Chains A and B, each alone.
Chain A
């Protein structure tokens, strides 16, 4: 008789943590492909370095604390991949290493490891790099530029391209067409430019029950509403489209904000969480110094996740509070 199964239920669904993380990697793969198309070898190098750094840190910490390795559950790979997809390719290599290490060592393991962290590790790692060098997150190279593989591109070797958010902040209406937005022909972080690919990835995650739509609807609905009511360009419709498709908003909504560990589980909590992220993002975009506020908004709302769940439970209806993944 199996020594584990002495009590009901005697069946288990085949999905475990590794499969959930593998599904995330499958969803991130097309984003990485688009990043390579637009930014070439340097992006691939940053991806490899970021993932490797995350894996090594995870291995070191898990062997030291738990005495067994936990890199098999692939969560470190996902963290490293997300960091590489959000970091512009003009950044020095060691930023990727530092961001991954910070994400794994501090944001994840200092708070308890897989499933116990309060803040999203990838977002925390990127914010750490942003605080050290605020300019790096907005220094986009033009697409298809030939960047050196290992050494940091010198500041005068490429014409820095100003992304959509930079233009909006300076009061300039960006001249991108809807097609450009959809296929990603505008400057931005490698994984965040191609909208079609991100939406396809999100559909896959929805099908695999790793994503539920409450947080994305909360975030994107709030951002769209604020963009509609207070457009930064002349035309409200275009403003909605630009605000939604620029910066890391779509990517972070589907891959970082919806991370079940750091977001509320209850449906009312999720909607509140999404609205909070939307509001904070737009406040930072409109009034703050930074171009894009998604990362900071996610971190701020992460700290309130449990509180939002508790509020949902205190006000629960008779039928219980519906939860979602």
Chain B
């Protein structure tokens, strides 16, 4: 199975080193700041200051009725609750825990009789295990599963395709835990109501493809029929296009096309562990990479680990860096400094040295390259001009609402126009 899409950028020249090495565990941070706002859901602390907590012990519950519980990622002492910087909302309270280094765990019970679990039971397990969604702005996985059930999703795609530059954690998780990821995908398929599961890998990843093929071949016959391995074009933003690429194709007359549901290898792995070991999500894989000096690795760190520790361990001194980015080079946010901690849903942590010359910018030369790479088939140069002239009606006619702010146009623009920013303002103004 091969899928592609129009436009997109091939990042061949940026070597993706992080996916070549094993995941490195950094779980010995002396002090952790576990933010009380994870995935947009604010929680209330449930532990007393000074008390000892074990790993996997719940320490905060959501203020409203929905959302995941926050678990302590390490064993240690709760030192206090103080305001800490949060990348999206300024400052939010965080529970400060001193790590005693022992990683003593609270006993967790695996689910009895996993075969008999109903879809809604599985979704409840996903909520209790606090499984995160794919991107920084996503909702928790259990909410996405509910929405997939509501939409009648038939195909669930596990997005192993790493097309964003520098990013490597999806591939590493899949390579190192292939069987558990596969079992997790089957569980998520049952939860979402999908009758077909697809592993989407980029065409160049032969190691991952063969590992997945082995894992699928080891399954019983009727399971093998449910799972497919699809190769997708090695272009960014393949991850954003998964829903449309794998939408149902054979439809009866009058049937509306149903988009596919998308999940991540880490969510599959976490689901499998939640059911088989009863363990919630407390550690997140993060790609730490970039263009400044330092080693490129995928790191697995407990929630609340200071980012400065991760950067220091991998040799990023910050002397030659001029931008620290959270989430992804193409659609992330820039951090002012290193004073943030690991959240439940992050992407990559990138330390970039910017060498582009911006001395002559905002000069659209109407070359048309932006339109040739737009995955939605839009014409960003025209959209930009209309937004600048505040002619939003014409911009809407040209398809401004279809823009997903993927950043391909801004990447390729030789005139260095800040297209994504301008279109973001335009989209906000339309709202």
> Does A9 contact B407, Cβ atoms closer than 8 Å?
yes
Q: State the Cβ distance, A305 to closest chain B Cβ, in Å.
A: 9
Shortest Cβ distance from A6 into B: residue: B334
Task: Check A65 for interface membership: any CB of B closer than 8 A.
Answer: no
Indicate whether A320 sits within 8 Å of B418 (C-beta atoms), given known contacts A8-B407, A73-B360, A261-B366.
Answer: no
Chain B residues closer than 8 Å to A2, beta-carbon distance: 322-323, 354
Task: Check A156 for interface membership: any CB of B closer than 8 A.
Answer: no
> Does A12 contact B323, Cβ atoms closer than 8 Å?
no
Chain B residues closer than 8 Å to A319, beta-carbon distance: 6, 377
Q: Is the contact region of chain B dominated by helix, strand, or loop, or is it mixed? A: loop
Number of A interface residues, CB 8 Å?
39
Task: Check A234 for interface membership: any CB of B closer than 8 A.
Answer: no
Q: State the Cβ distance, A59 to closest chain B Cβ, in Å.
A: 15
In the complex, A260 Cα to B412 Cα: how many Å? 15
User: A residues 15-32 with Cβ under 8 Å of B?
Assistant: 15-17, 19-20
Task: Check A7 for interface membership: any CB of B closer than 8 A.
Answer: yes
Shortest Cβ distance from B381 into A: residue: A265
Flag the segment in B31-39, B82-90, B325-333 that touches A: B325-333
Question: Which 10 residue pairs are nearest across A and B when measured between Cβ atoms?
Answer: A320-B377, A323-B371, A115-B365, A9-B407, A265-B368, A2-B322, A9-B330, A260-B367, A12-B356, A4-B358
In the complex, A32 Cα to B6 Cα: how many Å? 38
Chain B residues closer than 8 Å to A320, beta-carbon distance: 6, 374, 376-378, 399, 402
Pick the residue among B334, B336, B354, B370 that contacts A7 (CB under 8 A).
B334
Task: Check B427 for interface membership: any CB of A closer than 8 A.
Answer: no
| Chain B interface residue bracket vs A | 35 or more
Chain A residues closer than 8 Å to B399, beta-carbon distance: 316, 320
| From B325, B369, B399, B415, residue with most partner A Cβ within 10 Å | B369
Task: Check A192 for interface membership: any CB of B closer than 8 A.
Answer: no
Task: Check B79 for interface membership: any CB of A closer than 8 A.
Answer: no
Q: State the Cβ distance, A211 to closest chain B Cβ, in Å.
A: 11
Chain A residues closer than 8 Å to B377, beta-carbon distance: 319-323
> Does B323 contact A10, Cβ atoms closer than 8 Å?
yes
> Does A10 contact B332, Cβ atoms closer than 8 Å?
yes
In the complex, A8 Cα to B413 Cα: how many Å? 14
Task: Check B19 for interface membership: any CB of A closer than 8 A.
Answer: no
> Does B333 contact A114, Cβ atoms closer than 8 Å?
no
Indicate whether A324 sits within 8 Å of B334 (C-beta atoms), given known contacts A13-B411, A16-B414.
Answer: no
Task: Check A266 for interface membership: any CB of B closer than 8 A.
Answer: yes
Chain B residues closer than 8 Å to A8, beta-carbon distance: 325, 328-334, 405, 407, 420
> Does A15 contact B329, Cβ atoms closer than 8 Å?
no
User: B residues 188-219 with Cβ under 8 Å of A?
Assistant: none
In the complex, A322 Cα to B5 Cα: how many Å? 12
User: B residues 315-342 with Cβ under 8 Å of A?
Assistant: 322-325, 328-334, 336
